[in-house]
């Protein structure tokens, strides 16, 4: 059993908890967050996107889930966490606050063997996307960034179509609203993020291009990205606008994506031509669900659309990482 701890019980932390608590190869041995324990147990038990938990969850002086008693701490400084005493193999760092080598290293100082971020870390932390460059992991790598949900989707599509020859790409991710937006209009450093999330289509800046250029350096200064948040609670649709080096056909693009979904990227990329909408991919484990019925070509310009569940698909990749890292523990 791989012994994991979760630091930060937001959307990703809680979904990871739900998915890992009954996993046959992974054991949750500790959880840390600042919220009230009874409140956390309630949020783990009832979820507005994925519904009630399929197992019992209770709060005593610790979290009791699916029969397992899991210690719960409420410490702001990761260096004070009991990871050594709990024998933690991997900390899932889900606060979004400890994403530099020094700060992620606090978990190592507390006794954890490895740290897996739930976002893109700073430049000093390896950016390794499962299914693309995860094989670059070495035994002496203590902290890994698996990218974000958008990075995983975009990397998957770019890696498959890169074999044809990409000259440049613009990526527009139409994304569900998130906790970093406001429920009603209010002040925010980014004015648009302060507008009511469930009432408008809201353009939001995103640093996705920086991550993609780290992963595809040959496309440096040839990638542009933007996201708009829309009034749904879950799901996203990535709109890729490619300029290819040579003219291609819809059939050629779709054939390559379909083939990858069945072979090299099986379990990570999914391909369909059904008339799906975002609700249809809720709970889908793939990083990218390409809708081939929407692919279009005008000369060297190519449009590809890919859905993804920004929470479930992403936590699946984190679970892939936990299992892959086992060989180095």
Measure the CA–CA gap between 232 and 230, rounded to whole angstroms: 6
**Known catalytic residue at 149:** yes
> Which residue among 149, 174, 206, 209 is the active-site one?
149
Phi and psi angles of residue 233, each rounded to the nearest 5 degrees, phi first? -90, -10
Cα 286 from Cα 236, distance rounded (Å) = 12
**At how many degrees (to 10) do helices 149-161 and 250-262 cross?**
120
Interacting residues of 310 by C-beta distance below 8 A, sequence separation 6+: 149, 150, 175, 176, 234, 235, 236
CA angle 29-179-14, nearest 5°? 20
- Quickly count helices (H) and strands (E) in the chain: 8, 17
Backbone dihedral region for residue 111 (phi beyond 0: left; psi -120 to 50: alpha; all else: beta): left
Active site residues: 149
């Amino acid at each position: 059993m791989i012994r994991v701890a979760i630091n930060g019980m937001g959307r990703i932390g809680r979904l990871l908890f739900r998915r890992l608590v009954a996993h046959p190869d992974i054991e949750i041995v500790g959880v840390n967050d600042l919220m009230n324990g009874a409140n956390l147990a309630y949020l783990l038990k009832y979820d507005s996107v994925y519904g009630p938990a399929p197992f019992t969850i209770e709060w005593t002086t610790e979290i009791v889930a699916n029969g397992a008693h899991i210690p719960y701490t409420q410490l702001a400084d990761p260096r004070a966490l009991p990871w050594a005493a709990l024998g933690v193999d991997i900390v899932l760092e889900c606060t979004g606050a400890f994403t530099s080598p020094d700060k992620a290293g606090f978990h190592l100082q507390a006794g954890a063997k490895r740290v897996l971020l739930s976002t893109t870390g700073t430049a000093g932390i390896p950016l390794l996307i499962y299914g693309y460059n995860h094989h670059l992991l070495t035994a002496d790598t203590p902290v890994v960034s698996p990218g974000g949900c958008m990075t995983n989707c975009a990397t998957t599509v770019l890696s498959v179509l890169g074999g044809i020859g990409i000259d440049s790409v613009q990526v527009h991710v139409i994304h569900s609203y998130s906790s970093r937006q406001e429920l009603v209009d209010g002040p925010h450093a980014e004015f648009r993020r302060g507008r009511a999330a469930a009432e408008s289509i809201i353009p939001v800046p995103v640093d996705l291009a920086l991550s993609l250029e780290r992963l595809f350096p040959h496309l440096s200064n040839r990638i542009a990205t933007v996201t708009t948040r829309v009034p749904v609670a879950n799901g996203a649709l990535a709109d890729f606008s490619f300029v290819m080096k040579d003219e291609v056909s819809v059939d050629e693009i779709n054939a390559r994506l379909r083939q990858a979904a069945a072979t090299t990227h099986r379990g990570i990329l999914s391909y369909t031509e059904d008339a799906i909408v975002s609700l249809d991919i809720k709970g889908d484990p793939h990083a990218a669900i390409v809708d081939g019925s929407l692919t279009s070509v005008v000369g060297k310009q190519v449009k590809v659309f890919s859905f993804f569940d920004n929470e479930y698909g992403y936590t699946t990749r984190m679970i892939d990482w936990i299992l892959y890292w086992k060989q180095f523990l």
